[in-house]
Amino acid sequence: MRGHGRWVTRSMNKVIVITGAGRGIGAAAAQLAASRGYAVCVNYRSNQDAADAVVAAIEEVGGTAIAVAADVGCEDEVKRLFAVVDRRLGPLTALVNNAGILETQMRVDEMDAARLTRTFTTNITGYFLCAREAVRRMSTRYGGAGGAIVNVSSMASRLGSAGEYVDYAASKGAVDSLTLGLAREVAPEGIRVNAVRPGVIYTDIHASGGEPGRVERVKDTVPMRRGGHPAEVAQAILWLLSDDAGYTTASFIDVSGGR
Ligand code: NAP
Protein backbone atom coordinates (compact mmCIF):
# COMPACT_ATOMS: atom_id res chain seq x y z
CA MET A 1 0.00 0.00 0.00
CA ARG A 2 1.11 3.53 -0.67
CA GLY A 3 1.08 6.37 1.84
CA HIS A 4 2.46 9.87 1.39
CA GLY A 5 4.32 8.62 -1.66
CA ARG A 6 6.01 5.88 0.36
CA TRP A 7 5.27 2.22 0.58
CA VAL A 8 3.37 1.28 3.70
CA THR A 9 5.14 -1.63 5.35
CA ARG A 10 2.94 -4.03 7.25
CA SER A 11 4.78 -6.58 9.38
CA MET A 12 3.40 -8.50 12.34
CA ASN A 13 0.41 -6.76 13.87
CA LYS A 14 1.58 -3.53 15.40
CA VAL A 15 -1.04 -1.71 17.47
CA ILE A 16 -0.41 1.72 18.91
CA VAL A 17 -2.29 4.14 21.14
CA ILE A 18 -1.31 7.79 20.63
CA THR A 19 -2.93 10.11 23.14
CA GLY A 20 -3.92 13.58 21.97
CA ALA A 21 -3.55 12.56 18.33
CA GLY A 22 -6.31 14.68 16.86
CA ARG A 23 -4.02 17.65 16.37
CA GLY A 24 -0.40 18.78 16.44
CA ILE A 25 2.46 16.43 17.24
CA GLY A 26 0.14 13.52 18.04
CA ALA A 27 -1.61 13.79 14.68
CA ALA A 28 1.74 13.81 12.85
CA ALA A 29 2.90 10.77 14.85
CA ALA A 30 -0.37 8.96 14.07
CA GLN A 31 0.05 9.45 10.34
CA LEU A 32 3.70 8.42 10.37
CA ALA A 33 2.93 5.37 12.54
CA ALA A 34 0.21 4.29 10.12
CA SER A 35 2.64 4.60 7.21
CA ARG A 36 4.99 2.29 9.14
CA GLY A 37 2.28 -0.36 9.44
CA TYR A 38 0.75 0.34 12.85
CA ALA A 39 -2.98 0.10 13.42
CA VAL A 40 -3.46 3.41 15.21
CA CYS A 41 -5.80 4.48 17.99
CA VAL A 42 -6.18 8.25 17.61
CA ASN A 43 -7.16 9.38 21.11
CA TYR A 44 -8.53 12.88 21.67
CA ARG A 45 -10.42 14.75 24.36
CA SER A 46 -13.20 16.74 22.66
CA ASN A 47 -12.39 17.78 19.08
CA GLN A 48 -13.95 14.86 17.25
CA ASP A 49 -13.78 16.53 13.82
CA ALA A 50 -9.99 16.83 14.09
CA ALA A 51 -9.57 13.21 15.17
CA ASP A 52 -11.91 11.98 12.44
CA ALA A 53 -9.86 13.91 9.86
CA VAL A 54 -6.66 12.15 11.03
CA VAL A 55 -8.39 8.76 10.76
CA ALA A 56 -9.71 9.62 7.29
CA ALA A 57 -6.23 10.68 6.10
CA ILE A 58 -4.81 7.37 7.33
CA GLU A 59 -7.57 5.30 5.74
CA GLU A 60 -7.23 7.17 2.47
CA VAL A 61 -3.74 5.74 2.01
CA GLY A 62 -4.75 2.23 3.06
CA GLY A 63 -3.91 2.38 6.76
CA THR A 64 -5.95 1.33 9.80
CA ALA A 65 -7.06 3.80 12.46
CA ILE A 66 -9.85 4.44 14.93
CA ALA A 67 -10.69 7.62 16.85
CA VAL A 68 -11.49 7.20 20.54
CA ALA A 69 -12.49 10.05 22.85
CA ALA A 70 -11.13 9.81 26.39
CA ASP A 71 -9.76 12.27 28.91
CA VAL A 72 -6.38 10.79 29.88
CA GLY A 73 -6.68 12.36 33.32
CA CYS A 74 -9.80 10.33 34.11
CA GLU A 75 -9.08 6.77 35.24
CA ASP A 76 -12.36 5.27 34.04
CA GLU A 77 -12.00 6.86 30.62
CA VAL A 78 -8.43 5.58 30.28
CA LYS A 79 -9.57 2.05 31.15
CA ARG A 80 -12.32 2.30 28.55
CA LEU A 81 -9.89 3.66 25.94
CA PHE A 82 -7.58 0.66 26.24
CA ALA A 83 -10.52 -1.80 26.39
CA VAL A 84 -11.80 -0.39 23.08
CA VAL A 85 -8.34 -0.88 21.57
CA ASP A 86 -8.21 -4.50 22.83
CA ARG A 87 -11.54 -5.17 21.20
CA ARG A 88 -11.17 -3.29 17.92
CA LEU A 89 -7.44 -3.41 17.08
CA GLY A 90 -6.04 -6.35 19.06
CA PRO A 91 -3.03 -6.74 21.38
CA LEU A 92 -1.24 -3.46 22.08
CA THR A 93 2.43 -3.16 21.08
CA ALA A 94 3.14 0.55 21.58
CA LEU A 95 2.04 3.71 23.39
CA VAL A 96 2.84 7.35 22.75
CA ASN A 97 1.95 9.45 25.79
CA ASN A 98 1.46 12.78 24.06
CA ALA A 99 -1.72 14.49 25.31
CA GLY A 100 -0.58 17.58 27.15
CA ILE A 101 -1.90 21.00 28.05
CA LEU A 102 -0.65 24.35 29.20
CA GLU A 103 -2.59 27.35 30.44
CA THR A 104 -2.36 31.14 30.22
CA GLN A 105 1.10 32.53 30.74
CA MET A 106 1.60 33.78 34.32
CA ARG A 107 4.07 33.78 37.19
CA VAL A 108 4.12 31.10 39.90
CA ASP A 109 2.95 33.66 42.46
CA GLU A 110 -0.29 34.05 40.48
CA MET A 111 -1.20 30.36 40.06
CA ASP A 112 -4.10 28.80 41.97
CA ALA A 113 -4.58 25.19 42.99
CA ALA A 114 -7.28 24.53 40.39
CA ARG A 115 -4.91 25.41 37.56
CA LEU A 116 -2.11 23.31 39.01
CA THR A 117 -4.45 20.35 39.38
CA ARG A 118 -5.66 20.62 35.78
CA THR A 119 -2.12 20.79 34.41
CA PHE A 120 -0.72 18.00 36.57
CA THR A 121 -3.76 15.76 36.07
CA THR A 122 -3.47 15.73 32.28
CA ASN A 123 0.31 15.99 31.94
CA ILE A 124 1.39 13.70 34.80
CA THR A 125 -1.49 11.52 36.02
CA GLY A 126 -2.59 10.96 32.43
CA TYR A 127 0.87 9.68 31.43
CA PHE A 128 1.01 7.36 34.46
CA LEU A 129 -2.47 5.92 33.88
CA CYS A 130 -1.88 5.25 30.18
CA ALA A 131 1.56 3.76 30.91
CA ARG A 132 -0.05 1.49 33.51
CA GLU A 133 -2.62 0.19 31.04
CA ALA A 134 0.07 -0.33 28.39
CA VAL A 135 2.39 -2.20 30.76
CA ARG A 136 -0.47 -4.47 31.88
CA ARG A 137 -0.92 -5.45 28.24
CA MET A 138 2.66 -5.52 26.90
CA SER A 139 4.81 -6.73 29.81
CA THR A 140 5.97 -10.34 29.78
CA ARG A 141 5.14 -10.23 33.51
CA TYR A 142 1.47 -10.22 32.49
CA GLY A 143 1.88 -12.65 29.56
CA GLY A 144 2.40 -9.90 26.96
CA ALA A 145 4.88 -9.94 24.10
CA GLY A 146 6.78 -6.75 24.98
CA GLY A 147 6.52 -3.34 23.40
CA ALA A 148 7.65 0.27 23.46
CA ILE A 149 6.50 3.50 25.08
CA VAL A 150 7.49 7.01 24.07
CA ASN A 151 6.63 9.91 26.35
CA VAL A 152 6.37 13.36 24.79
CA SER A 153 8.13 15.60 27.30
CA SER A 154 9.43 19.08 26.50
CA MET A 155 12.60 21.14 26.59
CA ALA A 156 10.63 23.09 29.20
CA SER A 157 11.65 20.40 31.70
CA ARG A 158 15.24 21.64 31.35
CA LEU A 159 14.55 25.34 30.82
CA GLY A 160 11.82 25.94 33.44
CA SER A 161 9.53 28.28 31.43
CA ALA A 162 10.03 31.23 33.79
CA GLY A 163 7.32 33.88 33.46
CA GLU A 164 5.26 31.65 31.17
CA TYR A 165 4.22 28.36 32.78
CA VAL A 166 6.54 26.88 35.37
CA ASP A 167 3.72 24.45 36.28
CA TYR A 168 3.85 23.05 32.74
CA ALA A 169 7.65 22.82 32.84
CA ALA A 170 7.47 21.02 36.19
CA SER A 171 4.93 18.55 34.80
CA LYS A 172 7.43 17.74 32.04
CA GLY A 173 10.13 17.28 34.68
CA ALA A 174 7.85 14.62 36.14
CA VAL A 175 7.52 13.05 32.69
CA ASP A 176 11.31 12.82 32.46
CA SER A 177 11.47 11.05 35.84
CA LEU A 178 8.63 8.74 34.84
CA THR A 179 10.56 7.87 31.70
CA LEU A 180 13.72 6.94 33.62
CA GLY A 181 11.97 5.06 36.42
CA LEU A 182 9.48 3.15 34.32
CA ALA A 183 12.15 2.26 31.75
CA ARG A 184 14.28 0.63 34.45
CA GLU A 185 11.25 -1.05 36.02
CA VAL A 186 10.06 -2.78 32.86
CA ALA A 187 13.32 -3.25 30.94
CA PRO A 188 13.53 -6.94 31.97
CA GLU A 189 9.92 -7.40 30.85
CA GLY A 190 10.41 -6.59 27.16
CA ILE A 191 9.30 -2.97 27.22
CA ARG A 192 11.48 0.00 26.24
CA VAL A 193 10.52 3.45 27.53
CA ASN A 194 12.00 6.62 26.07
CA ALA A 195 11.06 10.26 25.60
CA VAL A 196 11.33 13.07 23.12
CA ARG A 197 11.78 16.66 24.27
CA PRO A 198 10.43 19.00 21.58
CA GLY A 199 11.45 22.64 21.56
CA VAL A 200 9.13 25.25 20.02
CA ILE A 201 6.90 23.52 17.51
CA TYR A 202 4.20 25.00 15.28
CA THR A 203 0.96 23.71 16.87
CA ASP A 204 -2.18 25.09 18.51
CA ILE A 205 -0.80 24.63 22.03
CA HIS A 206 0.69 28.12 22.14
CA ALA A 207 -2.79 29.64 21.71
CA SER A 208 -3.78 27.95 25.01
CA GLY A 209 -1.02 29.96 26.65
CA GLY A 210 -2.58 33.12 25.23
CA GLU A 211 0.09 33.65 22.55
CA PRO A 212 -0.71 31.92 19.24
CA GLY A 213 2.34 33.54 17.61
CA ARG A 214 4.81 32.40 20.31
CA VAL A 215 6.95 30.34 17.93
CA GLU A 216 7.53 33.39 15.73
CA ARG A 217 8.49 35.49 18.78
CA VAL A 218 11.05 33.05 20.20
CA LYS A 219 12.39 31.40 17.07
CA ASP A 220 15.40 33.71 16.81
CA THR A 221 16.57 32.45 20.21
CA VAL A 222 16.75 28.93 18.76
CA PRO A 223 20.27 28.13 17.50
CA MET A 224 18.76 26.88 14.23
CA ARG A 225 16.73 30.15 14.04
CA ARG A 226 13.42 28.46 13.30
CA GLY A 227 10.52 26.66 14.92
CA GLY A 228 10.06 22.94 14.44
CA HIS A 229 7.32 21.08 12.66
CA PRO A 230 5.18 18.29 14.15
CA ALA A 231 6.43 15.88 11.48
CA GLU A 232 10.02 16.42 12.65
CA VAL A 233 9.06 15.38 16.18
CA ALA A 234 7.11 12.42 14.81
CA GLN A 235 10.26 11.11 13.09
CA ALA A 236 12.10 10.92 16.42
CA ILE A 237 9.11 9.27 18.12
CA LEU A 238 8.85 6.60 15.44
CA TRP A 239 12.58 5.89 15.57
CA LEU A 240 12.40 5.32 19.33
CA LEU A 241 9.46 2.96 18.81
CA SER A 242 11.22 1.01 16.06
CA ASP A 243 13.42 -2.07 16.26
CA ASP A 244 16.30 0.18 15.12
CA ALA A 245 16.20 1.54 18.69
CA GLY A 246 16.22 -1.98 20.14
CA TYR A 247 18.96 -1.31 22.73
CA THR A 248 17.77 2.20 23.56
CA THR A 249 15.78 2.67 26.74
CA ALA A 250 15.57 5.27 29.53
CA SER A 251 16.78 7.71 26.90
CA PHE A 252 15.83 11.13 25.49
CA ILE A 253 15.92 12.79 22.10
CA ASP A 254 15.84 16.59 22.15
CA VAL A 255 14.05 17.79 19.01
CA SER A 256 14.64 21.46 19.57
CA GLY A 257 16.95 22.94 16.96
CA GLY A 258 19.68 23.12 19.59
CA ARG A 259 17.64 25.12 22.13
P1 NAP B 1 -1.99 20.56 20.67
O2 NAP B 1 -1.75 20.94 19.25
O3 NAP B 1 -2.58 21.55 21.60
O4 NAP B 1 -2.87 19.21 20.68
C5 NAP B 1 -3.15 18.62 21.89
C6 NAP B 1 -3.86 17.31 21.68
O7 NAP B 1 -4.03 16.69 22.96
C8 NAP B 1 -5.27 17.45 21.11
O9 NAP B 1 -5.51 16.35 20.26
C10 NAP B 1 -6.15 17.39 22.35
O11 NAP B 1 -7.46 16.87 22.10
C12 NAP B 1 -5.38 16.41 23.19
N13 NAP B 1 -5.66 16.49 24.62
C14 NAP B 1 -5.49 17.56 25.46
N15 NAP B 1 -5.85 17.22 26.70
C16 NAP B 1 -6.25 15.93 26.65
C17 NAP B 1 -6.76 15.02 27.60
N18 NAP B 1 -6.91 15.38 28.89
N19 NAP B 1 -7.07 13.77 27.20
C20 NAP B 1 -6.93 13.39 25.92
N21 NAP B 1 -6.46 14.20 24.96
C22 NAP B 1 -6.14 15.46 25.33
O23 NAP B 1 -0.63 20.09 21.37
P24 NAP B 1 0.84 19.79 20.78
O25 NAP B 1 1.58 21.07 20.71
O26 NAP B 1 0.78 18.89 19.61
O27 NAP B 1 1.45 19.01 22.04
C28 NAP B 1 1.54 17.60 22.10
C29 NAP B 1 2.53 17.26 23.19
O30 NAP B 1 3.79 17.84 22.86
C31 NAP B 1 2.16 17.81 24.56
O32 NAP B 1 2.49 16.87 25.56
C33 NAP B 1 3.03 19.05 24.68
O34 NAP B 1 3.30 19.37 26.02
C35 NAP B 1 4.28 18.59 23.94
N36 NAP B 1 5.14 19.68 23.48
C37 NAP B 1 4.68 20.57 22.57
C38 NAP B 1 5.54 21.61 22.17
C39 NAP B 1 5.12 22.64 21.16
O40 NAP B 1 5.86 23.63 20.98
N41 NAP B 1 3.99 22.48 20.47
C42 NAP B 1 6.83 21.71 22.70
C43 NAP B 1 7.24 20.77 23.63
C44 NAP B 1 6.39 19.75 24.01
P45 NAP B 1 -8.62 17.79 21.41
O46 NAP B 1 -8.19 17.97 19.97
O47 NAP B 1 -9.85 16.95 21.55
O48 NAP B 1 -8.64 19.08 22.18
Q: Quick check: is 2 in a domain?
A: no
State which of 72, 203, 222 you would mutate to test the pocket of ligand 1, scoring each by most atoms of that ligand within 8 A of its C-beta: 203
The ligand 1 atom nearest the CA atom of 25: 26
Q: Which runs of E-coded beta strand occur in 48-183?
A: 64-69, 94-97, 147-152
Tell me whether residue 6 is in a domain: no
Q: What is the chain's pLDDT, residue by residue, as a tens digit (259 residues)?
A: 344 444 444 446 999 999 999 999 999 999 999 999 999 999 999 999 999 999 999 999 999 999 999 999 999 999 999 999 999 999 999 999 999 999 999 999 999 999 999 999 999 999 999 999 999 999 999 999 999 999 999 999 999 999 999 999 999 999 999 999 999 999 999 999 999 999 999 999 999 999 999 999 999 999 999 999 999 999 999 999 999 999 999 999 999 999 9
Ligand 1 binding pocket includes 227 (Cβ within 6 Å): no
Q: Is 164 in the pocket of ligand 1 (CB under 6 A)?
A: no
As annotated, the active-site residues are 168
Residue 29 placed within a domain: yes
For 109, 141, 238, the CA distances from 36, given in Å and listed in that order, are 46, 27, 9
For 29, the enclosing helix (H) or strand (E) is helix 24-35
- Secondary structure class of 70 (helix, strand, coil): coil
Q: Please report whether residue 4 resides in a domain.
A: no
pLDDT for the residue 12: 66
Ligand 1 pocket, residue 207 CB under 6 Å: no
For the chain, what is the domain count?
1
Residue 129 lies in a domain: yes
**Which amino acid is located at 189 in the chain?**
E
Residue 143 lies in a domain: yes
Distance CA 249, CA 200 (A): 24
**Region label for 225, one of left (φ > 0), alpha (ψ between -120 and 50) or beta (otherwise):** left
> What pLDDT is stored for residue 83 in this prediction?
98
Residue 169 structural domain: 12-255
Q: Which pLDDT score is estimated for 37?
A: 98
Q: Is residue 97 lining ligand 1, measured as CB closer than 6 Å? A: no
pTM summary value: 0.96
Assign residue 18 the CATH number of its domain: 3.40.50.720
Hey, which of 105, 200, 205 would you mutate to test ligand 1's pocket, going by the most ligand atoms within 8 Å of its Cβ? 205
Residue 10 confidence (pLDDT) = 45
Predicted confidence at residue 28, as pLDDT, reads 99
Distance 20 CA to ligand 1 centre (A): 5
Q: How far apart are CA 80 and CA 78, in angstroms?
A: 5
203 Cβ closer than 6 Å to some ligand 1 atom: yes
In a domain, 37, yes or no: yes
CA of 140 to the centre of ligand 1 (A): 30
Ligand 1 atom nearest the C-alpha of 24 is 26
Residue closest via CA to ligand 1's atom 31 equals 100
Cβ 151 under 6 angstroms from ligand 1: no
At 116-168, the pLDDT tens digits run 999 999 999 999 999 999 999 999 999 999 999 999 999 999 999 999 999 99
Atom number of ligand 1 nearest to Cα 21: 9
Is residue 1 one of the residues assigned to a domain?
no
